[in-house]
Chains A and B, each alone.
Chain A
């Protein structure tokens, strides 16, 4: 497969509805600082994957990330990672499913149908969850990796086609970027200025937590070790193309904030909608009109799915439903015609996001768990059957995680929490495993366990401001309160990574290392360096990497 196709699939695999809806939500909640998820939280890690890590993945001939761990360490490390990764894909697909159901609900796609059959409108969310699960199930049954990649490329273009006119109309309406700067508080339009202290920016985190937690641990953890994205680069047709894949992907990736974060900012720059009718011309109930006073721009207050009442936090402040930023903006600007394209773009991103996760779950469970530990040596037909059953099982479990997502008012917060538990410690294991040949299997295993445990302990003993102890933390004791969920997630990731890093080093020093001849192609110092001198200059990974990094520094300076 050519590098540009893999490159677009590489970013599309991560551009599910969770990304699109979640980034719009974060744009409205945290402001332009959300672009750190791209400019600090993705680009440097993508460059690192292309330059340093792809030679191992592509060169070791491992078919999955857990399999690389088996080559480099041992079976138990692989099993642990396979289980953790499988759990994470279920959360990701559940979050996509939740996003889909919210979308159907907020766009009132099914209101007419439900009214005709006399069903209560509160059922729409539940029916949407089950219906979307059914569609994805059918979709995954039919697709393989190649078709998934082709689909992701198509969907990439659809998202651009659907969102570009939205941003263009929005910017024209609010007076361009200067108009947004004028209308919003200073901290929402400057990504770096408020970062000296956690109190002076909407993200609630200071520069160290951001650079270390997001820029280093979470970002490198995701882009370097997440099988879902790494799989796309491994499908390239040569080592050179595999290394170029993340670097090519970095260019559209760094421009995505303009497509997905700006709509969130535009949504809070607009005046609050005070009218007796909604955007479809339907008359609102007195309760719904009353609730408009809590809105911020186009963002309404969150309404409890089961009771229909508005939600307030622990301190009595209204909880805003930021996930509606992009859907509401679509309805606000798009006429019949273009609105269809916008909704198609959102539904397409949901489909590929969820299908990608369910297929990855399927691969890792069938190949790295079932075939390795439960039943090896069976026929291909048997594994195919198990794979299908795994898909059904995975979709059912995703429904459970979709309901857990209803507890968060920004799905990005939940996603980063899951990453902090799984990817953050794994990145420490990879870093040591790839660059320090002394690292042992026992150490990697102990380190991973300790890292995840450290994440759980940190999450259990801290809480974001205004939250009730439980899913969002504080279930052991409350020793520290963070200004936002995101700040808590960053620090959870930092603790998890550090614990894994230190424990892996300590245990390595007291256990017996692998003989060096077994580590050729798996550890940096024992692997021949790829030779780029034959490649034409603009295709050399190092040249691409420098260009990408220069562009990202420029963007950070412009929006500082």
Chain B
């Protein structure tokens, strides 16, 4: 059985989102002058985390990519 691609996509973005948001929340706060004073690490990290979670949810809900594609025909 082939792995549903949404699971690796979801995992990668969940980890990336956690790292970015964590660094944004806990790391130095004086590095945001170039990004117009916005804590983009925190904001974008949360967006990526949510995206990763949605992908993981969709990937786990349908057991395999093969089944979901045959069901749609």
Contact in complex: B8, A154 (CB < 8 Å): yes
With A338-B41, A338-B44 in contact, do A172 and B36 touch (Cβ < 8 Å)?
Answer: yes
- Which residues on A sit within 8 Å (CB–CB) of B35? 169, 333-335, 338
Contact in complex: A335, B40 (CB < 8 Å): yes
A319-359 residues with Cβ-Cβ distance < 8 A to B are 332-338, 341
Partner pick for B36 among A3, A157, A173, A238, CB 8 A cutoff? A173
Partner pick for A161 among B13, B34, B40, CB 8 A cutoff? B13
Residue total for B at the interface (Cβ-Cβ under 8 A): 27
CB-based nearest A residue for B17: A161
- Which residues on A sit within 8 Å (CB–CB) of B51? 161
A297-335 residues with Cβ-Cβ distance < 8 A to B are 332-335
With A335-B34, A338-B40, A338-B44 in contact, do A161 and B23 touch (Cβ < 8 Å)?
Answer: no
Q: Smallest Cβ distance from B25 to chain A, in angstroms? A: 11
Contact in complex: A5, B65 (CB < 8 Å): yes
Interface size class of A (residues with CB under 8 A): 20 to 34
- Which residues on A sit within 8 Å (CB–CB) of B38? 169
**CA A150 to CA B20, docked complex, whole Å:** 24
Contact in complex: B69, A1 (CB < 8 Å): yes
B63 at the interface (CB under 8 A from A): no
A2 at the interface (CB under 8 A from B): yes
- Which residues on B sit within 8 Å (CB–CB) of A332? 34
Contact in complex: B5, A150 (CB < 8 Å): yes
- Which residues on B sit within 8 Å (CB–CB) of A5? 5, 65
CB-based nearest A residue for B31: A335
**CA A237 to CA B16, docked complex, whole Å:** 32
Partner pick for A238 among B23, B44, B73, CB 8 A cutoff? B73
* Most A Cβ at <10 Å: residue of B5, B12, B38: B5
Contact in complex: A333, B20 (CB < 8 Å): no
CB-based nearest B residue for A236: B69
A165 at the interface (CB under 8 A from B): yes
Contact in complex: A333, B65 (CB < 8 Å): no
A153 at the interface (CB under 8 A from B): yes
- 5 further A-B pairs in the complex, CB-CB below 8 A; given A2-B65, A341-B16: A154-B9, A172-B36, A333-B36, A337-B27, A341-B44
Could you jot down 16 A-B contacts, CB within 8 Å?
A3-B69, A150-B8, A154-B12, A157-B9, A161-B44, A161-B48, A165-B40, A237-B69, A238-B73, A241-B69, A334-B34, A334-B35, A335-B34, A335-B40, A338-B20, A338-B40
In the A-B complex, the 8 residue pairs with the smallest Cβ-Cβ separation, listed nearest first, are A337-B41, A2-B69, A335-B31, A337-B23, A165-B44, A335-B35, A338-B40, A150-B5
